[in-house]
Chains A and B, each alone.
Chain A
């Protein structure tokens, strides 16, 4: 298994600013992902965080808006840039366990409100 910690757990931000969310896993993991859950909606994959290289983004998400870093096997960050109210969502970090046995583990999410 893997225990995933995210911070901040919630924040209220002003339009036009940027916020960086941190994700820490308690063990080395093979894969890490970032998801967005808009109010009352399901989860949508933003990108796969690749260690030491650029993240792989899904359709509709771009690096300029959601820059991602993954400097090592246990840590990743997601930045939401130039925020607008439409970015108000829960952002979730997920990861495989140390041994990739098929499931993903999730942090409790970062609830972002943009005014």
Chain B
């Protein structure tokens, strides 16, 4: 069985300051892990993915995440927040052990608020 835990339901940062969204996972296999973003009334967009290659993964819009097996974590970071980053962020684990997409298990989401 697989699961993800997003440790914060809501994070608020000031524009220009760093962003940290925390995620811990549980998986029977070497997992594939993803971060998706959902802007209000929009579909989900893939930010980045980890599929057993480099442990530091760079995504779109300046986001990156580091896979730490010893800590079972996959935290999402960005050096400097922008107002347009305000959205809901989902940490996601795939049950596929072959690095191909299969059904995904979503975390409960973290709402990122960016203030002036």
Instruction: Please list the residues of chain A having a beta carbon within 8 angstroms of any beta carbon in chain B.
Output: 4, 31, 33, 41-45, 48, 58, 92, 94, 96, 100-109
Contacts and interface: CB of A to CB of B under 8 A. Distances in A.
16 contacts: A33-B103, A33-B104, A42-B90, A42-B106, A43-B44, A45-B103, A45-B105, A58-B103, A101-B101, A102-B32, A102-B49, A102-B101, A103-B34, A104-B104, A105-B46, A108-B42
Interface string B77-112: 000000000000010001010011111111111000
Interface residues of B, number: 24
Given A42-B90, A108-B43, A109-B43, A31 B49 contact: no
B43 A106 contact: yes
Nearest to B42: A108
List of 7 A-B pairs having minimum Cβ-Cβ separation, nearest first? A108-B43, A106-B44, A100-B100, A43-B106, A96-B101, A102-B51, A42-B106
Contact of A102 (B36, B90, B100): B100
Contacts of A102: 32, 49, 51, 94, 96, 99-101
A42 to B, nearest CB: 5
Interface of B: 32, 34, 36, 42-46, 49, 51, 90, 94, 96, 99-109
Contacts of B43: 4, 92, 106-109
Contacts of B45: 106
A45 B93 CA distance: 13
A107 B108 CA distance: 19
Contact of B44 (A33, A41, A92, A100): A92
Contacts of A42: 90, 106-109
Given A102-B32, A103-B34, 9 more contacts: A4-B43, A31-B101, A42-B108, A45-B105, A48-B103, A92-B43, A94-B44, A94-B104, A101-B101
Nearest to B104: A104
B42 A104 contact: no
Given A108-B43, A109-B43, A103 B103 contact: no
A42 B104 CA distance: 12
A90 to B, nearest CB: 9
